[in-house]
Structure 1
Amino acid sequence: MAFWLNQLTWPQAEKQIERVPVALVPVGATEQHGPHLPIGTDVFLAEKLAAMVSENTGALVYPSVNFGYSWVWRDRVGTVSLEQPVLQKVLENIVQSVERYGIRLLVFVNGHEANSATLKYAVREIQDKTPVKVLGMFYPGWSKVYEDYMETPTWNGMFHACEFETSMMLAACEELVYMEQAVEEYPRRPLLYGMDNTSIGDLSKSGVYGNPKAATKEKGEKMLEIFARQITQIIIDCGYGQQ
């Protein structure tokens, strides 16, 4: 059973924190994921992973941060993007809130790669100001898992709405995946990409970077289990878990 904070009364939440003083905060984005995946893909995957870790450890799953740094998709329908300093301050405020009533380990379970830099700086800045141990993670060890389970390549080391994310979405929220709409796209990489303000949102017509047609639910289940197991072990190594 996953422990969803918003489904508990405050005395129930207090009791669970006394048992396991760990908070899991899913962090995602609101942005397009091609014609076959929902706009909330990054949030749904972070929530699924957090729920699996909660079942393993007893940690509380807090409400998700639904908006992330999505500058590259800012002109696509449905996208909401926070500026990096704004997102960083939100993450820091979450830590400052939970420290007041006993949380001692907070894990930001990130489902959106572009949030990673902001998470890194938020963890660095807040750690000097709080007794809470703060961790930020994005599919720990994903490159090895990708190599082991994926049949199609990434786009220059980046993935989006591809075999990887689509497989996990088939495992997490199959009813929201429209495989008949899936398309493969590997846009040409401009010479100055990564050196100027070239946006991937301007390169892909479909919004896909990779080949989602190769995705399967079985692959997604295996990968999510590996990621959940790795995060669970990290929490145990930090001295927390079911008591």
Structure 2
Amino acid sequence: MYVADQTWPELGEYVAEESVALVPLGSTEQHGPHLPLATDHLIGESLAREAADRTDVLCTPTVNVGVSPHHRQFHGTMWVDPPQFRDYVESMTRNLAYHGVDRVVYVNAHGGNVQHLREVGRRLRDDGTMYAIEWMWDESIPDLVDEVFERNGPHAGPKETAMIMHVAGELVREDRLEDARDGGRVDLDDSPNYMTHGARTFFDALENSPNGAFGDQTGATPEKGERLFEAATEQLVNLVEWLDAREFEDLMAPAHVDPQPGSRR
């Protein structure tokens, strides 16, 4: 159920019975010469809406701009600073709590958002508002990704290329796949900037890839994208069902170990 398509009485019927919502998030940032800047938020929204349809839970509008300053040198990349991103997502999620939602899955498709979404989830659980967890699509199916692609690439690689071929194929510049591979970085570990004496000595994507792409994109196909999409959706559906079956009290932070602070005063 997509929240923006509903009327308020229809949503009243939902929150009277259900308490789970999916919040899709991504980014608007460069994805090499072959993929649109919308790549991450298209993937996040497609997965969230599909899982919501299959489970009859609520899906909110998508957060399209994320924490992406590490791509800022490339034209069109947009970003917000981490504190503002965290505060915005937290405020938006508290809106859901006001309407009766007490558990949320952040359906995330951008690596730069991960740590900040986990921090928001901790804030919300620590004050007893709700249980909100971050879910990253490719991290839910790592073995399949490794099986399908020999050289995945952490960004703008074959897995994201295949997913966009599946969900929005008209936006893929298929004539630029070889350019993406040859003008980017196939293996991140081969970059002279990746690790120096045990430290990651880079901050921005441009320091490791001249065109912002990683991996070998030439092996991506819509069929492989569909396979990834279906597997990730299944994982998300399973997560929603698991979350829905939990008692709210069991999702909250455990109590301090005994003796409780101040209990002997």
Q: Same fold (TM over 0.5)?
A: yes
Specify the alignment match of 1:147 in structure 2.
Answer: 146
**Following the alignment from structure 2 to structure 1, what is the Cα–Cα distance between the partners of residues 83 and 28?**
17
Q: Does structure 1 residue 204 correspond to structure 2 residue 209?
A: yes
| Equivalent residue letter for 1:181 | R
1 or 2 for the larger relative contact order (CA 8 Å, sep ≥6)?
A: 1
Q: Which moved more, 1:96-105 or 1:195-204?
A: 195-204
**Following the alignment from structure 1 to structure 2, what is the Cα–Cα distance between the partners of residues 79 and 130?**
36
Instruction: State the Cα deviation string for residues 5-24 of structure 1 (Å, max 9, x = none).
Output: 11111112222333432211
Secondary structure at 1:46 match in 2: helix
**Following the alignment from structure 1 to structure 2, what is the Cα–Cα distance between the partners of residues 17 and 175?**
37
User: 8 Å contact 1:99–1:130 — kept in the other structure?
Assistant: no
Identity, % of aligned pairs?
27
Specify the alignment match of 2:90 in structure 1.
Answer: 92
| Equivalent residue letter for 1:169 | I
Specify the alignment match of 1:59 in structure 2.
Answer: 57
Shift of 1:130: 3.6
| Equivalent residue letter for 2:230 | E
**Following the alignment from structure 1 to structure 2, what is the Cα–Cα distance between the partners of residues 175 and 166?**
12
Q: Which moved more, 1:76-85 or 1:182-191?
A: 182-191
User: 8 Å contact 1:20–1:58 — kept in the other structure?
Assistant: no
2:164 to 166, 169, 175: 169
**Following the alignment from structure 1 to structure 2, what is the Cα–Cα distance between the partners of residues 15 and 126?**
25
User: 8 Å contact 2:103–2:131 — kept in the other structure?
Assistant: yes
Shift of 1:97: 0.9
| Equivalent residue letter for 2:119 | Y
The two structures, once aligned, show a CA RMSD in angstroms of 1.9
Instruction: State the Cα deviation string for residues 35-85 of structure 1 (Å, max 9, x = none).
Output: 111101000000010011111111111111111111111121111111111
Q: Give the count of matched residue pairs.
A: 235
TM-score by length of 1: 0.90
**Following the alignment from structure 1 to structure 2, what is the Cα–Cα distance between the partners of residues 77 and 204?**
15
TM-score by length of 2: 0.83
Shift of 1:197: 4.4
| Equivalent residue letter for 1:148 | E
Q: Does structure 1 residue 231 correspond to structure 2 residue 236?
A: yes
Specify the alignment match of 1:126 in structure 2.
Answer: 124
**Following the alignment from structure 1 to structure 2, what is the Cα–Cα distance between the partners of residues 209 and 162?**
5
Segments of structure 1 that go 5 or more residues without pairing to the other structure are none
**Following the alignment from structure 1 to structure 2, what is the Cα–Cα distance between the partners of residues 163 and 196?**
25
Segments of structure 2 that go 5 or more residues without pairing to the other structure are 246-265
Specify the alignment match of 2:256 in structure 1.
Answer: none
Instruction: State the Cα deviation string for residues 86-114 of structure 1 (Å, max 9, x = none).
Output: 11111211221111111122111001011
Q: Select the structure of larger CA radius of gyration.
A: 2
Shift of 1:131: 3.4
Instruction: State the Cα deviation string for residues 185-222 of structure 1 (Å, max 9, x = none).
Output: 32624143953443222331221111111101111111
| Equivalent residue letter for 2:241 | I
